[in-house]
């Protein structure tokens, strides 16, 4: 775990989004965008990797806790906002990125490309903000 003894990512949320993990959702959430993309294009490595990940989520959770800093911004909230309202920029507004949040709102996440960028980089963005808040 991280230094404060609490977690940055939720195991429960990890298992909930694992349901859609054959599209790589849980891998993106835990900061593994390369394998998340691979899962997206191969349906979770033909569902075999998806089933195996059911048992790997606790390890992915521990790795995310070691890798990402806890702070003012919650990773799970950021990911939920990106997933359900990302094309409207709500996750960016949550992180205090007002200009790009408003831009996403009027351009549907810059026609989806900004949303894809954030799918790859959201953990790093939140981590950077949390490290700055110390």
In this predicted model, what pLDDT tens digit does every residue of 60-118 receive, in sequence order? 999 999 999 999 999 999 999 999 999 999 999 999 999 999 999 999 999 999 999 99
Residues 84 and 103 in one domain: yes
Residues 63 and 104 in one domain: no
Residues 128 and 95 in one domain: yes
The answer to whether residue 3 sits within a structural domain is no
Average pLDDT over residues 118-122: 97
Q: What is the pLDDT of residue 133?
A: 79
Domains in the chain, number: 2
Q: What is the pLDDT of residue 5?
A: 60
Please check the confidence at residue 1 and state whether its pLDDT lies above 70.
Answer: no
**Rounded distance, CA 94 to CA 5, Å?**
24
**Rounded distance, CA 130 to CA 126, Å?**
6
Last residue of a domain, one of 20, 46, 67: 67
The answer to whether residue 6 sits within a structural domain is no
Which domain range does residue 33 map to? 11-67
Please check the confidence at residue 53 and state whether its pLDDT lies above 60.
Answer: yes
Last residue of a domain, one of 67, 84, 108: 67
Q: Which DSSP string corresponds to the chain? A: --TTSS-SS-HHHHHHHHTTGGGTHHHHHTT-HHHHHHHHHHHHHHTHHHHHHHHHHHHHHHHHHHHS--SSS-HHHHHHHHHHHGGGTHHHHHTT-HHHHHHHHHHHHHHTHHHHHHHHHHHHHHHHHHHHT-
The answer to whether residue 2 sits within a structural domain is no
Residues 123 and 89 in one domain: yes
Q: What is the pLDDT of residue 60?
A: 97
Q: What is the pLDDT of residue 81?
A: 97
Residues 90 and 58 in one domain: no
């Amino acid at each position: 775990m991280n230094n404060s003894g609490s977690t940055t990512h939720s195991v429960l949320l990890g298992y909930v989004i694992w349901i859609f993990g054959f599209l790589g959702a849980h891998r993106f959430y835990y900061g593994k965008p390369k394998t998340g993309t691979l899962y997206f294009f191969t349906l979770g490595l033909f569902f075999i990797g998806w089933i195996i990940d059911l048992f790997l989520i606790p390890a992915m959770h521990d790795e995310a806790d070691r890798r990402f800093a806890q702070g003012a911004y919650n990773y799970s909230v950021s990911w939920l906002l990106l997933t359900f309202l990302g094309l409207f920029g709500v996750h960016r507004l949550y992180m205090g990125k007002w200009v790009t949040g408003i831009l996403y709102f009027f351009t549907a996440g810059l026609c989806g490309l900004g949303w894809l960028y954030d799918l790859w980089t959201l953990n790093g963005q939140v981590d950077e903000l949390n490290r700055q808040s110390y």
